[in-house]
Amino acid sequence: MSSDGQGSVSLPRDADDNRGVKNKFSGNLKHELRTPLNHIIGYCEMLMEQAQDDGLDIFLADLNRIHSAGEQLLGVVDDLCDPVAHRKMDEASMHHEVRTPLNQVIGYAEMLQEQAKELGHDSFASDLQKVHTAGRRLLDLIVENFPSIEVNSDALGSDLITSKRQQAFAREPMAKQNKAVGAAIAAASLLVVDDNELNRDMLRRRLERLGYDVSCAENGIEALKLLKTESFDLLLLDVIMPLMDGFEVLEQLKAEPLLRDIPVIVLSASDQVDHVVKCIQKGAQDYLTKPFSPVLLQARIGSCLERKRLRDQETLYLRQIEEEKQRSDELLHVILPRDVAAELKATDAVKPRRFERVGILFCDIVEFTAYSARRGPEEILSHLQTLVEAFEQLCLKHDLEKIKTIGDSFMATAGLVTQLDNPALNCVRCGLEMVVAARELPAQWQVRVGVHVGPVIAGVVGHRKYQYDVWGDAVNTASRMEQAAAPGSVCVNKDTWNIVAERCSGRSLGRIELKGKGEQELFVVNAISN
């Protein structure tokens, strides 16, 4: 390698100028070249927006020149990394295509930086320095990887600066311009993941100007930690990163149930088709190459956020539907036994069934009519509610199924839904505790309980208002037992007494005439003995 003494780099050109180029046609080299270009174009666009917003019109023309040169260099980089296009370009063309736009980027950046400092716009000058640094970095990469291109790296930009310095800086009128940035979703929270600090800085600032809440991570590991501890609406992800690349991040995102629905836009300097395909296959919603159009990025972000909003809305609606379904099921289970409710939901009907050995319990309040005549409906209903709730808890305790309440009458069964060794004994035990519970409640009611055991037919009647009920002679007999019981007692006939006698203490009431049943010996059960 030789130098002309003026900083011009001239490398040997043999039959194949591409030797020693470090695999320059690989995707990695294109990524390296596009990274400083992304900085040049991105910072330049933000500076143009700031100049328009702040009335700094004096900078706009030269910023436009830098931006145009950056766009031109983007095409040049694509050609340089394309082996076919590169071989078709002659040396003079390559020299011109590279030197001219690089000269504009570096020269105008230096000139505008000096001018911004003179006018007291230090933050403006700081961003121009980043553009200048990126231009120099791009120059170094081109000189290092493309020996056939002669570029005077020391003198680059100086001729432009000299000619511009000869011109007086005339300050144009600074009219404030209103710029329509586009509607941003104010509540949207975005996470930018990129190992390059300038990339993160440019993208964060641009997105914040659009109204988004932006957080940053410098690698995939840090990004996943943030995603697990904070809530984000969109992830803007680089691909080529140390520690954990974008592909791994996408894989881990999709493996996490709580993170898999976060939309991802991949932003990468790599435009290799296999990278694009791989990212989409791993769940990315979109893929943009750097440097990207800010208008296009804004549109893609808006589209992803809108899709997420609709998906979240759909998820909310589905959850509400499921909650309503659960409430409906709970209500159905209040009205019907669980197995019966399941059959009704599955077949829209409940087939009547015969059960041979079911305990039936009836309980009603003594002198309820007289009690009601002396009180208002609100007080009566409140006391009834308290009583019925207590009875329902006792039914659960003793494995009884509440069938219905009619006025002050409460009906339940044992052995209908759950198989029991002695359904009659369960009913008697529950009935005795009902007597005590009613007496201890605020209304201090006396109740009477009738119990009988026998075969029944059970099923659902009606189609508009479902009611599970039982029918048969055993039901009628249990009702007659309740009517014959003394206040505060549990009454059974001889058949039922014979079933529970070994476990109960009680006494015979003798033979009593029952409506529709004739004379039957009845017994009062006083207590469960063991």
Residues 6+ apart with CB under 8 A from 418: 399, 401
Cβ burial 123-161 (10 Å sphere, 16+ → b, else e):
ebbebbbbbbbbbbbbbebbbebbbbbbbbbeebbeebb
CATH code of the region 2-165: 1.20.140
Residue 178 in this model has a pLDDT that exceeds 90: no
- Comparing 91-100, 157-166, 246-255, which segment has the lowest mean pLDDT? 157-166
Amino acid residing at 74: L
DSSP string, 454-489: EEEEEEEE-SSS-EEEEESHHHHHHHHHHHHSPTT-
Q: Give phi and psi for 478, each to the nearest 5.
A: -60, -40
Contact between 35 and 196 under an 8 Å Cβ cutoff? The reply is yes
In sign, the C-alpha dihedral spanning 322, 327, 331, 334 is positive
Say which CATH topology domain 189-312 has. Rossmann fold (3.40.50)
More confident residue, 293 or 94: 293
Residue 518 in this model has a pLDDT that exceeds 80: yes
- How many Cα atoms sit within 13 Å of 338 on the Cβ side? 3
For the chain, the structural domain boundaries read 2-165, 189-312, 338-528
Residue 95 in this model has a pLDDT that exceeds 70: no
Contact between 466 and 448 under an 8 Å Cβ cutoff? The reply is no
DSSP string, 95-164: HHHHHHHHHHHHHHHHHHHHHHHHTT-HHHHHHHHHHHHHHHHHHHHHHHH-TT---BTTTTTHHHHHHH
- Among the ranges 3-7, 501-505, 526-530, which has the highest mean pLDDT value? 501-505
What's the pLDDT tens digit per position in 444-476? 999 999 999 999 998 887 666 667 789 999 999
CATH code of the region 338-528: 3.30.70.1230
- Comparing 90-94, 424-428, 464-468, which segment has the lowest mean pLDDT? 90-94
Residue 13 in this model has a pLDDT that exceeds 50: no
Taking CB atoms within 8 Å and a gap of at least 24, the contacts of 152-155 are 152/6, 152/7, 152/8, 152/9, 152/99, 153/7, 153/8, 153/9, 154/6, 154/7, 155/6, 155/7, 155/8
Mean pLDDT, rounded, for 31-41: 88
Residues 6+ apart with CB under 8 A from 98: 73, 76, 80, 142, 149, 151
- Comparing 126-135, 162-171, 300-309, 337-346, which segment has the lowest mean pLDDT? 162-171
- Cis peptide bond prior to 352, omega within 30° of 0: no
How far is residue 276's CA from residue 355's CA, in Å, rounded to a whole number? 68
What's the pLDDT tens digit per position in 118-156? 889 888 889 999 999 988 888 888 878 876 665 555 545
Contact between 59 and 313 under an 8 Å Cβ cutoff? The reply is no
pLDDT of res. 473 = 93
Contact between 42 and 209 under an 8 Å Cβ cutoff? The reply is no
Residue 517 burial (10 A CB sphere; 0-12, 13-18, 19+)? middle
Coil vs helix vs strand at 167: coil
Query: Hey, do 2-165 and 189-312 end up sharing a CATH topology, with the first three levels equal?
Result: no
pLDDT of res. 23 = 47
Residue 4 in this model has a pLDDT that exceeds 60: no
Instruction: Report pTM.
Output: 0.49
Residue 317 in this model has a pLDDT that exceeds 50: yes
Mean pLDDT, rounded, for 469-489: 93
